[in-house]
Structure 1
Amino acid sequence: MKTFIQHGDCLTVIAPAGGTNSGELYKVGGIIGVAATTEAAGAQVVLKLDGVFGLTKVSAQAWAVGDLIYMNTTSRSLTNVSATGLVLVGVATEVAANPSATGACRLNGVSAPAAV
């Protein structure tokens, strides 16, 4: 097929201000993904856009399977509460207790403003 470019589950992008840490979630434009490597700001970094990841969440929340998950783009922590300024990034795939530092999230690969 002459129009195929790549599978798209991983994309190489320019690392955002502050750089990236391997295994952490980042938003670059409308792209949401987990950094494959630690890179300085402005360097190329591969983001994994789909799959289920154990990511930093608001500790004082309980998540249920299927909850919509939003990202605070400043702290990069995840929440199951929709609010202005957050972006939808995926869905919870496991129960997460209150308190707990991480939650399992299946990424959508793109961000969308939270509907409030």
Structure 2
Amino acid sequence: MMAKNYVGEGEILDVNTGGTAVVGGTVVVMGKRIGVALRDIAANSNGVAAVEGVFNLAKLAGDAVAQGDLLYWDAANARLTVTAAGNTLAGYATGAAAAGVTTVNVKINA
């Protein structure tokens, strides 16, 4: 039996992307956290985003990432980076990704 105020597990949340259309698999910034759109979301529409899990996302090719490094979402360039300043904490790397590699696996919101 669930408590009367139980809402859900919290792995997937409703999001509204405002005036921007979002392609499924794309990062959505939600304040100080990120989500990954589970399917396309039209501009000015509601959709759903995963806020837990491990995702393979674009990263700044010049960054060498070690397993466990904190990663930040650079919304202006739509990629992860090890640079915190001006970016949104996304999670941590679940494996290494050398400089020159353009993606990395990240445990989001951890």
Percent identity, aligned pairs only? 33
1:12 aligns with one of 14, 26, 39 = 14
Distance 2:96 2:33 in 1: 26
2:34 aligns with one of 32, 55, 59 = 32
Structure 1 stretches of 4+ with a deviation exceeding 3 A read: none
1:77 aligns with one of 56, 73, 79 = 79
| Residue 97 of structure 1, CA deviation | 1.5
Structure 1 segments unaligned to the other structure (5+ residues): 110-116
What root-mean-square deviation, in Å, do the aligned CA atoms of Structure 1 and Structure 2 show?
1.4
Distance change in 2, residues 1:100/1:16 (3 Å): farther
Say yes or no: does 1:53 pair with 2:55: yes
Distance 1:90 1:28 in 2: 14
User: Counterpart of 2:36 in 1: which secondary structure?
Assistant: strand
C-alpha contact (below 8 Å) 2:33/2:90 kept by paired residues: no
| Residue 40 of structure 1, CA deviation | 1.5
Structure 2 segments unaligned to the other structure (5+ residues): none
Length, aligned pairs only: 108
